Chain A
């Protein structure tokens, strides 16, 4: 029972590079979320999705893009990496009506 799986766990990028953080869940959860965690700032919502083909912006979407072609996968794309995107990224999912999130283990991204 894998839950929410994120890859990679760690990544270092140069300014201007692009990359995709992968998130997959095997619980058939409709709702999926991407958060970033910065020290003292808690978790900020980047994007979320309520089902395949549907995505919406959270609090801090600038510099990111998402897609949701399947229920299982919710990748987060950084097109032009900037130092301000250095953070720990968490993917999470839940079923509608159950407001408890299941989190992935996180992806630590450093942009130099």
Chain B
């Protein structure tokens, strides 16, 4: 079964700092990759996704993620964070040829200090 690892459980940074959240998965077949975000008191929303093509994908609110197949990674980045980026971020992987079930990482809580 596939698994997803997010390296940092908590990240604290100041506004305008750059953000990078790591995500690694274990599955050798074709995958769809996602980052979801959960703002305080809200439900999960899709931030960005990768299905195929350009491995650098851009999402909402200035976020981007890069799929590196050889490293089984899908790291999330934002060059300059804002206070409103305070949220919990979840990486998720869908193993296309293994039942199409979405597996989530443990999440990373990001706190942006104003």
Contacts and interface: CB of A to CB of B under 8 A. Distances in A.
Interface of A: 33, 35, 40-45, 48, 58, 90, 92, 99-101, 103-106
A32 to B, nearest CB: 12
Interface residues of B, number: 23
B51 interface: yes
B4 interface: yes
Given A40-B106, A42-B107, A90-B43, A100 B101 contact: no
Interface in B88-102: 90, 92, 94, 100-102
A25 B9 CA distance: 32
A100 B106 contact: no
A41 B43 contact: no
B102 A42 contact: no
B106 A42 contact: yes
Most buried by A among B6, B34, B102, B103: B102
Contact of A48 (B51, B101, B106): B101
A90 B90 CA distance: 14
Given A43-B90, A58-B101, A104-B43, A99 B32 contact: yes
B44 A103 contact: yes
A99 B102 contact: yes
B46 A45 contact: no
A101 B105 contact: no
B104 A43 contact: yes
